[in-house]
A and B are shown apart, each in its own frame.
Chain A
Amino acid sequence: MQFESFAEFINMGGYGFYVWLSYGVTFGCLATLITLSVRKKRKVLIEIAKKMTREQRLKENRGTKS
């Protein structure tokens, strides 16, 4: 089955809205999932590093105050 022109490809035989909406939602969800999963590792490590600096600061303050 062939489409005659690019305009017809966008139209998809009258069902263009449904097809491209489905494609768009699927693609958007998958792209979001992939980028969030890949960035999660870096975010987790930065969180742990921040917690470590916080603990370090608390220990120092406890030492100087008492």
Chain B
Amino acid sequence: MWGTWWVWDARLTSELVLLFLYLGVISLYASFEDKVLAARAAGILAIVGVINIPIIKYSVDWWSSLHQPSTIKITEKSTMSTDMLYPLLINIFGFGMMIGAITLVRYRAEILARNGMRPWVRELAKAEEAK
């Protein structure tokens, strides 16, 4: 349909850069022993990488490419037909909710890990072991 698996056009290339930024953040976090320091370094890399997001969004308008220009518009009527647009918007919302839920679940585990010495965590651990 697109006619190819890969081209070096604006959107795909900037999304490849995004993938490398993700891998960089993950490996930077994993390479530190002290997790507080690790979080700080990975956070700085993530903040620097935010510049890539508007580049991805507007890359389709700035460079002519294989990808079609934006079809979901906020102020005017969208150029995508509704039988494709509504499922897409529902999916975007669903993925957003799922990512929020997974983040909260992992946040809970992280808080427990960081506070391992506190008495309230030790009680929870004892209760979990007894199960």
Contacts and interface: CB of A to CB of B under 8 A. Distances in A.
A59 interface: no
A51 interface: yes
Contacts of B102: 33-34, 37
B1 interface: yes
Given A34-B102, A37-B106, A38-B105, A44 B126 contact: no
A48 interface: yes
B122 A52 contact: yes
B125 interface: yes
Q: At the interface, is chain B mostly helix, strand, loop or mixed?
A: helix
A42 B129 CA distance: 9
B124 interface: yes
B76 interface: no
Interface in A12-66: 15, 30, 33-34, 37-38, 40-52
Contacts of B98: 30
Given A45-B128, A48-B122, A49-B129, A15 B105 contact: no
A41 B112 contact: yes
